[in-house]
Structure 1
Amino acid sequence: MAIKRPPKRLSPHRQAIKMLKRINRRHVKVAVAGTLAASTLALQPMQNALDMVRSSGELHLVGVSSPSTFFQQDGHTHGLQFELAQQFANELGVKLVVDSVTSPHRVLQSIRRNQAQLALTGITADDPRLERLRVSNPVIEVQQQLVQRNDQRMPKDISGLTGKVVGVVAGSTEAQHLKDSVREVENVKIIEIRQGKSLDLLGLLDEGRVDFVAMNSREFDAFRPLFPNLRDSMSLERTDAVSWVFMKSGDHSLYQAAQDFLVRKQADGTLQRLAEFYSNGNVFDSYGAKHFNRDIANRLPHYQSLFERESTATDVDWRLLAAIAYQESKWNPNAVSPTGVKGLMMLTQGTASMMGVKNREHAGQSIHGGSAYFKYIHDRMPESVAEPDRTWMALASYNMGPAHILRARKLTERNGGDANSWLDVSRNLRQLAQDNRRQGRSVPDVGQGLHYVQQVRRYYDAIALNTQVTLSKTQVASLDFDISNSTTQ
């Protein structure tokens, strides 16, 4: 029987060496694994700002709601810069998410804290507050101007403000420009309101509590329908650019994509067409605003309940239905056109029969028929057409006929445009008219159709503004301005 020998004992020195070798081998394995992991991460490209927006599926926009940015009606957002930003988001293949805040200060806070990727500040590109941010190419231009009452004499030049009181929103670009403009003029009192907005300023002017107010041309253009007794006054000889604003960092990817987009939209005329579409033109000059306010006060109350009833039935904003009727007949139930369309909604005999209207000159029947027909057209727009383009195309169809807009959408698609964008479709309507003329088809009156959509949009915004805003004397009186603390030049 073999005798087992006990294992040979290593000296303490050799045991220590053996243990160190095991530890070293383990460390080598860990180090190799760490190196491989680091190498793998290094091979994966880091996402830049543009890639992060695309991978998240959302572009976050922050801004102050205003006539030059965006505004909401009937649960939908529209406006010049909103539509432009929506096009940019569409190009990136992402959803545009809009965060409306109350002041430019909050807009700047959001963009600096990276809570949004795109900011609409409403302040002009040369404002010192934008120095540490990235400012895009100009999106729109605004004219700095004074506004006055109709019964005032217009000053010939800036010296005509001597002894006058001029109101302006505190912290606005206009406030700084006004102070610069009157620096050499004696005894000009500048009132800076801190708890109100442009609309409140116009209320102060309308009541005679200030002699002039300073604001940009687009702001006054939008609010003019409410103030038939106010008019444009002297220009402050300053045209400024309003731009998009981005956070300033070493990553230029999203900013550069926006720059390239704006250059293209400037070149193809999109910026100009949007600016024209969202302007009021001369519709609400002193004469137009006076007549509109008269009709709002004297005619609309007779029919508002009928519009509201049809709004409940069709789920279309009653103010849009009222705007269609105002464009059609100025709310005159006895209106008749040379072509035989009649009534408050100016229905053809065919449309009236289709909608079950027996008496086109009966206000209730006319409003019912016109509202039902607009709803019929609106609901038959393809699901891919989102608001507000859906409304604009439905209005064009209401005026020109759905078949023309359907063919214009197909033509837009063939020409490489966006068939879901009213701006793109409207550009192809003239070519459609030419093609129809050559082919012997019915030729749409393109000029009339484009004018119709724009006019209804103007009246819609004006009616909404008139019904949403109450110029309370208590509110105006409580505005935080103190003449004793105002700036006197």
Structure 2
Amino acid sequence: MNQGLTIKLLGLALVIVSALFLTSCTEEPKNQLESVQQQGYIKVYTRISPTTMYVGEEGFSGFEYDLVKLFADELGVRVQIVTENDIAKILREVSSGRADFAAAGLTVTKQREEYLRFGPPYQEITSKLVYKQGNDRPRDFSQVDKNLTVVANSSHSEELLNAQQDYPNLSWTERSDLTPQDLLDGVLDGTFDYTIVDSNELQLARQVQPELAVAFSISEPEPLAWAFPKGTDNSLYIKAIEFFSKIRGDGTLAYLTERYYGHLSKFDYVGNREFLRAIEDKLDKYRPYFYEAAANDLDWRLLAAMGYQESHWEPHARSPTGVRGLMMLTLNTAKQLGVKNRLDAEQSILGGADYLRLVKEKIPDRIEEPDRTWFALAAYNVGFGHLEDARRLAEGDGANPDKWLDVKEYLPLLRQKKWYSRTRYGYARGDEPVKYVNNIRMYYQVLKQVAEPKAGGSELVDPETESMQEGEEIGDNGQDEENILGTDEALAETESDKSQDDTEK
């Protein structure tokens, strides 16, 4: 190669390098949002917990999980979820920028706000000091003189440090290797005398562990929010603010809250104990009938929850209105379904399941689960015509007639002449189906925790959540305008139906 050619090639190379250098200098760096969208996923830290994320029978689920997936859908990206129960590590990873944010049921505290910034609050909790029912109840921290253990680096640690200023002798142990549920289990088995957990976690736990008792609250209501790293790049943070504004405005946040917590009411220690005892003493006797009745389209545990609500699983139960049997069928309904003896447990359960299917078929197809089932249960209790009346009232008032969250507020109005005078089917004790559905949901959730599903059976699943399970990466520590309300026909039992008696033995 001659010298002239070499010089020309070197010159050309220099021009190319210079051009690339100038291009790189003039190209503005991408912000966090653009980087996330370019890489195609967001990296999120969370904890395994009933209130955040867990692996259920149908895959990943949980309040925080659903929120994160909806946010990812808004961004048009996938989710890389890293599960970690060490709160300190979660906070470090986020503050260092090694994660986009944390969605882990984190309480907003002054200390954390020094090195993190929090998105809009989506839930409020209080911190509760928990002890075992039957033991001495402390009234304040001066009486907490035994083993108090909390999750390390939690908001409860900060609260205890603040309390120590007024109670100098207060002491406690912090454990990074245990989850809130581990600590609650430890209180029940005697490993710990006391622990502190968030009120939402305690509410869910007490469904199956009613001996968990509240000594006192150690905080005022506190907000939960996503945690983001501090910095000058606000792009993803602003997008999260917009997202929460949107889901709060369109009702999605309220819907999710109702879905996960709507069945929880004031804690009934005696009622919960009785239900758990009935599971141990009675359920196995009727389980084969619930299995048979469920077939492949219903969850046997939902039918069992209905049966307990109706009769406490008593096959000879009867009411003054004439309904009888384990599933408390009226005489007319039993005849319609071919049930010859309502006091026969198997016939009653099979008839109850078939009646639920009949009612469910009346629900407009556009209504998805789980609202479809809640509507069917309400109609099973109060009659389809009265349910439709409530849905019309909701629609006329600007509420959504296809969401149980909205319609359950209008059913009780059927007791008031101002409202029922505007309906087709008139007066109804509309508060009763609301309580009915609420109780069944509670029993169902308990049964899902303590009883296995039927092989090849069906579980009640929200299709939106089900579809959201495509594309996530999990790391370990790593509405037809026609027929808005559906049919006008009533699958309702009239008062005259309910007053009929029969000669079943």
User: TM-score w.r.t. structure 2 length?
Assistant: 0.68
Deviation string, structure 1 residues 83-102 (Cα, Å, up to 9, x no partner): 77788899x69899795835
Name which of 157, 160, 174 aligns with 2:143.
Answer: 160
User: In the superposition, relative to structure 1, how do residues 326 and 60 fare at CA in structure 2: closer, same or farther (>3 Å)?
Assistant: farther
- Cα drift, residue 108 of structure 1: 6.3
- Cα drift, residue 72 of structure 1: 6.2
Which amino acid is 1:455 matched to?
N
User: In the superposition, relative to structure 1, how do residues 156 and 332 fare at CA in structure 2: closer, same or farther (>3 Å)?
Assistant: same
Name which of 430, 448, 463 aligns with 2:432.
Answer: 448
Deviation string, structure 1 residues 78-135 (Cα, Å, up to 9, x no partner): 7656677788899x69899795835375876897899997753112022755655542
Which amino acid is 1:459 matched to?
Y
The answer to whether residue 467 in structure 2 is matched with residue 465 in structure 1 is: no
Q: Which residue of 1 aligns with 2:281?
A: 298
Deviation string, structure 1 residues 306-329 (Cα, Å, up to 9, x no partner): 223333x14322222211111111
Name which of 218, 225, 245 aligns with 2:200.
Answer: 218
SS at match of 1:360: coil
8 Å contact 1:333–1:343 — kept in the other structure? Answer: yes
Q: Which residue of 1 aligns with 2:348?
A: 366
- Cα drift, residue 336 of structure 1: 1.3
The answer to whether residue 293 in structure 2 is matched with residue 320 in structure 1 is: no
Range with greater deviation from structure 2 (373-382 or 193-202): 373-382
User: In the superposition, relative to structure 1, how do residues 60 and 460 fare at CA in structure 2: closer, same or farther (>3 Å)?
Assistant: farther
The answer to whether residue 151 in structure 2 is matched with residue 169 in structure 1 is: yes
The answer to whether residue 97 in structure 2 is matched with residue 139 in structure 1 is: no
Alpha-carbon separation, structure 1, partners of 2:355 and 2:94: 44
Q: Which residue of 1 aligns with 2:479?
A: none
Which amino acid is 2:343 matched to?
E
Which amino acid is 1:456 matched to?
I
Name which of 33, 52, 64 aligns with 2:47.
Answer: 64
Which amino acid is 1:358 matched to?
K
Percent identity between the two aligned chains: 34
User: In the superposition, relative to structure 1, how do residues 198 and 246 fare at CA in structure 2: closer, same or farther (>3 Å)?
Assistant: same
User: In the superposition, relative to structure 1, how do residues 390 and 185 fare at CA in structure 2: closer, same or farther (>3 Å)?
Assistant: same
Which segments of 5 or more consecutive residues in structure 2 lack a partner in the other structure?
A: 1-11, 13-18, 453-505
Alpha-carbon separation, structure 2, partners of 1:232 and 1:360: 43
Alpha-carbon separation, structure 2, partners of 1:430 and 1:365: 32
User: In the superposition, relative to structure 1, how do residues 385 and 186 fare at CA in structure 2: closer, same or farther (>3 Å)?
Assistant: same
User: In the superposition, relative to structure 1, how do residues 72 and 219 fare at CA in structure 2: closer, same or farther (>3 Å)?
Assistant: same
Range with greater deviation from structure 2 (139-148 or 387-396): 387-396
8 Å contact 1:228–1:293 — kept in the other structure? Answer: no
Name which of 325, 329, 339 aligns with 2:321.
Answer: 339
What does 1:24-423 correspond to in 2, within 5 Å?
A: 63-69=46-52, 74-75=57-58, 101-103=83-85, 119-126=102-109, 128=111, 133-161=116-144, 163-182=145-164, 185=167, 188-245=170-227, 255-256=237-238, 259=241, 262=244, 278=261, 284-311=267-294, 313-378=295-360, 381-406=363-388, 408-409=390-391, 412=394, 416-423=398-405
Alpha-carbon separation, structure 2, partners of 1:303 and 1:242: 42
Alpha-carbon separation, structure 1, partners of 2:156 and 2:148: 11
Give the paired residue count: 440
SS at match of 1:148: strand
- Cα drift, residue 389 of structure 1: 2.7
Which amino acid is 1:235 matched to?
S
SS at match of 1:333: coil
User: In the superposition, relative to structure 1, how do residues 307 and 247 fare at CA in structure 2: closer, same or farther (>3 Å)?
Assistant: farther
Which amino acid is 2:124 matched to?
E
Alpha-carbon separation, structure 1, partners of 2:425 and 2:162: 60
- Cα drift, residue 441 of structure 1: 2.4
User: In the superposition, relative to structure 1, how do residues 443 and 425 fare at CA in structure 2: closer, same or farther (>3 Å)?
Assistant: same
- Cα drift, residue 201 of structure 1: 1.5
User: In the superposition, relative to structure 1, how do residues 430 and 160 fare at CA in structure 2: closer, same or farther (>3 Å)?
Assistant: closer
Deviation string, structure 1 residues 25-71 (Cα, Å, up to 9, x no partner): xx9xxxxxx9xxx9xxx9xxx99988999999999987435343455
8 Å contact 2:414–2:429 — kept in the other structure? Answer: no
8 Å contact 1:59–1:94 — kept in the other structure? Answer: no
8 Å contact 2:42–2:100 — kept in the other structure? Answer: yes
Alpha-carbon separation, structure 2, partners of 1:346 and 1:398: 11
Alpha-carbon separation, structure 2, partners of 1:86 and 1:413: 29
Alpha-carbon separation, structure 1, partners of 2:99 and 2:426: 49
8 Å contact 1:108–1:121 — kept in the other structure? Answer: no
Alpha-carbon separation, structure 2, partners of 1:97 and 1:406: 40
SS at match of 1:214: strand
8 Å contact 1:61–1:120 — kept in the other structure? Answer: yes
- Cα drift, residue 464 of structure 1: 2.0
Alpha-carbon separation, structure 2, partners of 1:373 and 1:360: 13
8 Å contact 2:263–2:441 — kept in the other structure? Answer: no
- Cα drift, residue 212 of structure 1: 1.0
Which amino acid is 2:378 matched to?
A
User: In the superposition, relative to structure 1, how do residues 448 and 77 fare at CA in structure 2: closer, same or farther (>3 Å)?
Assistant: farther
- Cα drift, residue 423 of structure 1: 1.5
Q: Give the greater-gyration-radius structure (CA).
A: 1
SS at match of 2:197: strand
Alpha-carbon separation, structure 1, partners of 2:353 and 2:95: 46
SS at match of 1:221: helix
Deviation string, structure 1 residues 320-361 (Cα, Å, up to 9, x no partner): 221111111111112112222211122223332333322221
Which amino acid is 1:190 matched to?
W
- Cα drift, residue 165 of structure 1: 0.6
Range with greater deviation from structure 2 (288-297 or 210-219): 288-297
User: TM-score w.r.t. structure 1 length?
Assistant: 0.70
Range with greater deviation from structure 2 (240-249 or 368-377): 240-249
- Cα drift, residue 419 of structure 1: 4.5
Which segments of 5 or more consecutive residues in structure 1 lack a partner in the other structure?
A: 1-26, 28-33, 469-489
SS at match of 1:210: coil
